[in-house]
Amino acid sequence: MAFRYKLRSITPQDDPRTLLQEIHPPGNSFGEVLSGESKAPQWGAVISLLKYLGAKRLLIQYGIRDPDFLEEHQAFYAKQHRPVTRKCVRIHAFSLDIPIPEKSDETAVLAFLDAAKAQDGSYIGFVTVRPLRHAPVGATIISPPASRMPTAQDAFPVHIAGIEFSVTGTPFLQQDNAVGACAQASIWMALRTIRRRQGNVAYSPAELTVAATRYISSDRTFPGRAGLTVEQMLEAIRFAGHDPLHLAIRNQLTDEEQIQSVLRQAVPYIESGLPVIMGLKHANGGHAVVAIGLQNSSAQQHQEVVTPTQDDGATQITYTPSSAWTSALVIHNDNTGPYQKLGSAPDGNYKLLQTVSLIVPLPDGIYTTAGEAEVLAIRAIVRLAAIFSGGTIGTLTLPEVPFVLRTILSTRHRFREWAKDDATLAPEIVARYRTHELPEHMWVIEIHDKAVFNPGDPSRVSRVGEIVLDASADSVHADALIFGRVTSKLWPSAKASAALLMWEDDQGVGAIGTAGSDFGRSLLKPW
Amino acid sequence: MTQALNVELPDVLLGFAKDVFKSLGKPVIIPPEVIARIDRVIDESLVTTLLDVRERERAASPEALKLRIR
């Protein structure tokens, strides 16, 4: 058996196509196909990303039994007359800049791996190369570039020759349209990202195709080039143990309103670290991408202000959702590559305006949506206003300064960690946040002073309260409110620097006033 | 920006609200009937309701559901 590792340097001048020709699996009768001209832009995008991230050395690992490709092979390629190898090649990228010996033998490779392990952060990630000329990029996890940092990501262990490395990023995969189109690739990327956090089974694209077409099908299962409808995608996600939320994007009057509608519905989930599968209506037909991060600006991008109360001058409360600061989304697009930007530029090939639906693979038991949570938060803010302004001003006065609502889904553990570490909260409030009985998942709707809110600068503090809701409540029929907190920053006329915490449980509604009202920080990693 | 809610608070609520800030750090239990009174005000004022949001989010057009994604 030939030695299965090869060390190679990589430079900015390296041509992706030459590299692909060089690494084809030895002894693979499909090799000449792989080494032929590949037009896959995904491969070029992946190699460009590795170069951008400072990759200096590649360790090429042959004979990889990639679980996803094995499933594809069993479902499709094993049945073909012409032999197609079931083994892939994996390329590991390192920023380690040490000399490479002329011969890649056991000693050289193991010495390199020992040196890489000794240097923190030298491992950049890996690309699995399928033996398919039409779809070489298989399961891939590469660190993100700093300018396109995802919120939906995880740390993945990688084992090479007895050494464990780790890469933090969002899994990427190019569709192999014989067994699944972009719909399956998007579902795979989304579910693989949250697999560890939500503890569900990881299905291959081939298995997702079978699951999607089990009950609703208008053609053969394989080849899967016809793609999937949204209904079939929902079925596949459900089969994988998730509870998919489907949000419709209705036609708005103007392009700007349409973009606002997409962002307003998608941003709370993405900010919560959940991937959102976006159905796009592209000129070439339906396409799916996975939104995994936000590009937030320091300045407000959209003039969206929401008035959920009667606009008659006597009864008016307005707020701005934090999505008004989002200029673009960070996406994995299986057609073009990982960590791409989906914005609103009119000349873009893929753009926000093409969005027709959003699918969020929620864990089981999230019955209140982000949109519903915002409405419930406004109700809670009016309740808090009655107590706060009643006690400090003497009349019911709604917040006197413009405010922003940032809506995120959090686990109780993350929320308590945040409370423990936020020195601006009064000790009585910290104690209650840390010890109160809480559900597993909660909607945390942060209230920010709009004059200082700046999501483009995470170090900026602007938080003046929060509403905490039970995410498992049936929002229409059950009480979702757990906590509500506001400070006098929302009522400058109150003069005294104070905060009010209100809570609701099976004993009724309680309230506590505390001194102090400093701006607090956001809950940046809610999950 | 104007934030306004032109409603008189009942004296009983004002009493509880003032209690909360009279002795900072001491919990005060608000009776359910007082909360119900505030909630009535909210119900009369809110234009966007939970049902509106459900309608907006869930009303997928048949065309969107049948769009073939590939």
Closest chain B residue to the Cα of A372, Cα to Cα: B50
Contacts (Cβ under 8 Å, ≥6 apart) of A39: none
- A116 CA to chain B: closest CA distance, Å? 40
The interface residues of chain B toward chain A in range 41-60, judged by CB-CB distance below 8 A, are 41-42, 45-54, 56-60
The closest alpha carbon to A274, from A381, A411, A385, A173, belongs to A411
Identify the residue whose tokens are 């999230």: A366
Q: Are strands A154-160 and A163-169 parallel, antiparallel or unpaired?
A: antiparallel
The closest alpha carbon to A376, from B48, B1, B59, belongs to B48
d(CA A169, CA A305): 34
- Predicted pLDDT at A31: 45
Over the stretch B4-63, which tens digit does the pLDDT of each residue have?
666 667 777 888 889 999 989 999 998 888 888 888 878 877 777 777 888 888 777 777
The interface residues of chain A toward chain B in range 242-271, judged by CB-CB distance below 8 A, are 246-250, 265
d(CA A409, CA A272): 5
- Predicted pLDDT at A30: 46
Contacts (Cβ under 8 Å, ≥6 apart) of A148: A293, A295, A330, A339, A340, A341
Q: CB–CB of B8 and A396 under 8 A? A: yes
d(CA A420, CA A425): 9
d(CA A379, CA B42): 7
Count Cβ atoms below 10 Å from residue A245 Cβ, excluding itself: 21
In degrees and rounded to multiples of 5, residue A503 shows phi and psi of: -135, 160
H helix intervals, chain B = 11-22, 32-45, 50-58, 62-66
- Predicted pLDDT at A305: 85
Amino acid letter, A214: R
Query: With contacts defined as CB-CB under 8 Å, which chain B residues touch A376?
Result: 50
Torsion angle in degrees (nearest 10) through CA of A336, A341, A345, A348: 0
Q: What is the DSSP letter of A62?
A: E
Q: Contact, A330 vs A350, CB < 8 A?
A: no
Closest chain B residue to the Cα of A357, Cα to Cα: B64
Q: Which of B19, B27, B69 sits opposite A183 (nearest CB)?
A: B69
SS (H, E, C) A402-458: CEEEEEEEEEHHHHHHHHHHCCCCCHHHHHHHHHCCCCCEEEEEEEEECCCCCCCCC
Write b or e for each residue in A491-502: b if 16 or more Cβ atoms lie within 10 A of its Cβ, otherwise e: beebeeebbbbb
Contacts (Cβ under 8 Å, ≥6 apart) of A242: A191, A198, A200, A361, A362, A363, A364
Crossing angle of the two packed helices B11-22 and A370-392, in degrees rounded to 10: 80
Q: In the A/B pair of chains, how many CB contacts fall below 8 A?
A: 209
Q: CB–CB of A313 and B17 under 8 A? A: no
Q: What is the third-level CATH fold of A230-362?
A: Cathepsin B; Chain A (3.90.70)
- Predicted pLDDT at B3: 64
Amino acid letter, A18: T
Q: Contact, A266 vs A329, CB < 8 A?
A: yes
d(CA A225, CA A227): 5
- Predicted pLDDT at A215: 86
Q: Which of B14, B65, B67 sits opposite A281 (nearest CB)?
A: B67
Q: CB–CB of B24 and A515 under 8 A? A: yes
H helix intervals, A35-93 = 41-52, 67-75
Amino acid letter, A525: K
Query: With contacts defined as CB-CB under 8 Å, which chain B residues touch A397?
Result: 3, 5
The interface residues of chain A toward chain B in range 171-200, judged by CB-CB distance below 8 A, are 177, 181-183
- Predicted pLDDT at A17: 87
A185, containing H or E segment: helix A182-198
Q: CB–CB of B68 and A498 under 8 A? A: no
Contacts (Cβ under 8 Å, ≥6 apart) of B23: A513
Closest chain A residue to the Cα of B23, Cα to Cα: A513
- Predicted pLDDT at A348: 75
Amino acid letter, A440: E
ipTM: 0.90
* Residue ranges of domains in chain A: 5-173, 230-362, 370-514
d(CA A53, CA A380): 46
Identify the residue whose tokens are 């620097």: A497
Q: Facing residues of A341 across strands?
A: A330
Count Cβ atoms below 10 Å from residue A73 Cβ, excluding itself: 23
Q: Which of B3, B46, B59 sits opposite A398 (nearest CB)?
A: B3
- Predicted pLDDT at A33: 46
Per-10-residue mean pLDDT for chain A, 527 residues long? 89 92 62 53 96 97 95 93 92 94 89 96 97 92 97 97 98 92 95 88 88 84 85 93 90 89 96 97 92 95 83 79 97 96 87 95 93 93 92 89 96 97 95 96 97 91 97 83 97 92 90 95 88
Q: Contact, A272 vs A153, CB < 8 A?
A: no
Query: With contacts defined as CB-CB under 8 Å, which chain B residues touch A514?
Result: 24-25
Q: CB–CB of A183 and B7 under 8 A? A: no
Q: What is the DSSP letter of A186?
A: H
- Give the pTM: 0.95
- Predicted pLDDT at A313: 66
Q: Tell me if chain B has a CB within 8 Å of the CB of A369.
A: yes
Query: With contacts defined as CB-CB under 8 Å, which chain B residues touch A507?
Result: 29
Q: CB–CB of A511 and B30 under 8 A? A: yes
Q: CB–CB of A387 and B65 under 8 A? A: no
d(CA A237, CA A217): 16
